[in-house]
Structure 1
Amino acid sequence: MSARWTTPDQVAAQVRRRWADGSLLRAYAAGEPFPRVEVPLRGPRPSEIGDDLEEVRGWAARLDAGRRDDARYTLEWTTVGGRHFGRNQVPARAIVSAYEQAWGLLGVADDVRRFASILALVAPVAPVEAWVVANPHKALAVAEQWPALLAAYSWLDEHRGSGRYLREISAPGVDTKLAERHRRTLAALLGVPGTASGFLEALGLRGKPELVRLRPSPELVGLPQSLTELAVRAEELAALELRPTTALVVENEISYLSVPVPPGGVVLWGKGFEVDRVGRLLWLAEVDVRYWGDLDTHGFAILDRFRAWLPQARSVLMDRQTLLGHRDRWGVEERPARPLLSRLTAEEHELYDDLVTDRLGDRVRLEQERLDWDWVEERLGA
């Protein structure tokens, strides 16, 4: 048989595209008439029929058998031929005109039954039903979980703005792990962001406390001299009346633990893009603040973000001399950042642009923990 001639599998492929994009199930759920699918069949040209009539008849027979007595599709036939080999009936078009035909052709009857069960379960809850109809394959992917998901949805919807922890969820058959595992589905049902923090914040639930770690100088007024390090809830730390003379914010944890604390000052762990927690500390607004991050595109992006809170912040050990002085310790930044940064100094922006455009090498980065420690101490002391 010619490779160009349509097979029953190719007929099914035409219908499968509508199954895969969800349009068949959406129409089925909405009670709409079946969207008729007509597939023109590529078959032998009249000039080819006489070359091997048996092959042509075999092709037509396979298409005819594939319809399974019209349970999968029907065929329209046309007459071809002439005086050399007689007139013959060959299939010209396959037509799928009913849901049952499509389910049989694709072998998805069991999936459709599961989908119908899901629809029956969620029908009393209009927002959930609307999401299931709009996202049939996503709904099927969690088919076994719908009783619990529906219970979780109801509890979360009823407790919007309650300030409770997710751990307190008491819906039947639901525990914290299930809610967290299916957070993105629940977020879509509830119309809130799917990120962990955005989910809780939008629902008015309480999240895990944000802690800020800091190492105070013994001379720092407002804290016991015996404390060498604290981890404090961000809002509680912001409420303290601390008056450090200087502050050093460090991106990397081990570097944060290693640097000396300036007299009368404080060292804080910025923790990468979580630096906003430090930036919101109001008692840093009038303090000489230095920031030390990685020498890569993300390090400068974090510095730029930090200055949105504390414009007076100065960078340290994030200069061209430090980068070029440690060429043998360069690494490769897997996914460089490329945003436009408006809060960098001219020198910082020039170096950032060199990193973004690979002028110094392919995705160059220098992690702060790779800096020579004598170099670090000398410049921090200065």
Structure 2
Amino acid sequence: MKTTEQVLTDIERRLVSTWASCAAETARMTSHTAAAAEGTGSPTPPAPSEQRSSLSTSWPHAFPLGQPSSTNLAKDFSAAAAWAATWRAWSTKHGVSLRTRTRRVHTTDQEFPTHLVVPDANHAARLCGRHWPQRLERGRRRAILLAECFPHLVEAGLLAATIAAVDELSEVDFELLCRAGAWFAKHDATGLTPRQVPIEGLHAKWLNHRLGLVRRLSARDDLGLLPPHPPRVHFTYLDPGHLAAGGRRHDSATIGDQALPAYQPRVVVISENKDTAIHFPELDGGVSIEGVGRGGAAIAALPWLPAAEHILYWGDMDADGLEILNEFRAAGVPARSLLMDLPAFEQWERFGTNVDARGRPLQARMPRPVPFLTDAEETLYQSLTAETWARHRRVEQERIPLDVAASAVRRIVGDIQAG
């Protein structure tokens, strides 16, 4: 038998999967009403995908409450009766109805609730509370505007998906998105960079992050913009002989160019932190690469990387650092980790922290799939993301002395060669 908290979880789960479709249906009905009032007839009917996910098929919905078994009714009728009374009182208080079933108990007929019937998404949002009423209202306002300004979204059955995609945008960003979609629908941007697009308030980073949405609103598969400039990888030479001979210490490579480094590195250390890469101690045949964030595709594309005998990745001992390590391996970088397992964490946890760079608390979170981590690395990852973890959630790599990291590299290289 379910409690009110359990059923509210069920209601919110359904609301999560249907709220955008409900908002889209509101926009379609508003458009239909406006067209009828103006005497222009019905607008284009919704696409099949929109019809299948419409408000009418999502709500009302009956949520099962569970049923006391005949054995439990016979053994503890008072508990079952109290449960039924709780649901009757709760449904009356919140303005929702119950479906009931007659049960035979001790030679008498008793009515027990079987389902809670929620009539519509508005009611579901009020029951769930928190952000839901505002979220649903915002979705409907945006759906009406999108349907009016970009009717092809309705015709193509894309309105609900678009409402969900813009849900987290601020009002400023949503307004800018609509202006960008309208501009690209009417103008040819062939040959322009994102930075050169003449839309007030728009900047290149904003546009690069929302190209898919802008393409969808403008009904263009290709906006005609010039591709991003090829990525560059910055690295530091560590070989003492090269440096003693006056060779340059810092270098960079543009992906796609054929330029080779001053020497073919034997050992490559990819560092998540720029400072640790630049200041890494001397290392025979070594090069340290600035990993600077997620991804790894650019570094994986370096033509001289596969020829290195030893490739190591050194990042923060936190959930993000281990996810980045997983991403580098997924991109094709066959790196061993450096100081990124539970023994290393325990050794250096005295320098740990529980806040991020902005001073916000680091929280437990749902772990992501990390199929490219070793068992030892995944053990640390699962610990750092767990609700039950009561220790620090991050040890930043720059807190570990560089000579310790360099010694660890030499030890790893030596062990590999000895094996």
Structure 1 distance, partners of 2:182, 2:235, is: 43
Inter-partner Cα distance in structure 2 for 1:326 and 1:292: 14
CA gap of 1:313–1:337, structure 2 versus 1, over 3 A, is farther
Counterpart for residue 265 of structure 1 = 286
Q: Tell me the residue number matched to 1:188.
A: 213
What is the identity percentage for the equivalent residue pairs of Structure 1 and Structure 2?
A: 19
- What is the match of residue 210 of structure 1? 231
SS at match of 1:298: helix
1:166 aligns with 2:191: no
SS of aligned partner of 1:339: coil
Distance 1:277 1:336, change over 3 A: farther
1:328 aligns with 2:314: no
2:315 to 293, 301, 309: 293
2:405 paired with 1:376:
yes
Which residue of structure 1 aligns with residue 13 of structure 2? none
Q: CA deviation at 1:272?
A: 2.3
Q: Is the Cα–Cα contact under 8 Å of residues 358 and 364 in structure 1 kept in the other structure?
A: no
Structure 2 counterpart SS, 1:340 = coil
C-alpha separation in 2, matches of 1:179 and 1:347: 41
Report the counterpart of residue 302 of structure 2 in structure 1. 281
Partner of 1:304: 326
Q: For 1:227, what is the secondary structure of its paired residue?
A: coil
Corresponding residue of 2:273 = 252
Q: TM-score, normalised by structure 1?
A: 0.54
8 Å CA contact 2:364, 2:386 repeated in 1? no
* Cα contact 1:298–1:336 (8 A) shared by 2: no
Q: How many residues are aligned here? A: 265
Determine the structure 1 residue equivalent to 2:28: 26
Q: How do residues 126-137 of structure 1 correspond to structure 2 at under 5 angstroms?
A: 127=152, 134=159
Q: Distance in 1 between matches of 2:313 and 2:403?
A: 19
Structure with greater Cα Rg: 1
Alignment partner of 1:338 out of 352, 367, 386: 367
Q: Which amino acid aligns with 1:376?
A: A
User: Does the aligned pair in 2 maintain the 1:297–1:352 contact within 8 Å?
Assistant: yes
Q: Aligned ranges for residues 312-323 of structure 1 at < 5 Å?
A: 312-323=334-345
Q: Is the Cα–Cα contact under 8 Å of residues 248 and 289 in structure 1 kept in the other structure?
A: yes
Task: Write the distance in 1 (CA, Å) between the matches of 2:281 and 2:197.
Answer: 45
Q: Which has the higher contact order (CA 8 A, sep 6+)?
A: 2
Say if 1:336 and 1:363, in contact at 8 Å, map to a contact too: no
> Unmatched 5+ residue regions in structure 2?
1-18, 38-140, 355-361, 412-419
Gaps of 5+ in 1: 1-16, 35-111, 194-198
